[in-house]
Amino acid sequence: MSGLAVLTLALVAASALRTAELSALNDLLADSDAALADSSRTKDAFLAAVSHQLRTPLAVISGFVVAMQRRPSDGADRQACNQPIERNVRRLDT
């Protein structure tokens, strides 16, 4: 076998080995990408749930604060507005 033939066989073998290595790395990258996409979906779902859990009591609090600011009220009215505010603040605090 000539030197050129030996060199050609060595290059083909090295190329096949590198192709196999790159294929394995590509598979690993695809798995990592899928795991990252799953983590991103989980994060999005968590943030949506937290956002909803915050928005609901904050909307109640905001509504009663605006109502208290827009109209003069006596102590009973103010207490009636304070109760839902306090209840929703406790809800946020737990």
Q: What is the CATH number of the domain that holds 79?
A: 1.10.287
Q: What pLDDT digit, counting tens, does each position of 54-83 carry?
A: 888 889 888 888 888 887 777 777 778 888
Nearest-angstrom CA–CA distance, 42 and 10: 48
Range of the domain at 20: 3-93
Q: What pLDDT digit, counting tens, does each position of 28-62 carry?
A: 999 999 999 999 999 999 999 999 888 888 898 88
Give the DSSP per-residue string, 12-72: HHHHHHHHHHHHHHHHHHHHHHHHHHHHHHHHHHHHHHHHHHHHHHHHHHHHHHHHHHHS-
pTM for this one?
A: 0.58
Per the structure, how many domains does the chain have? 1
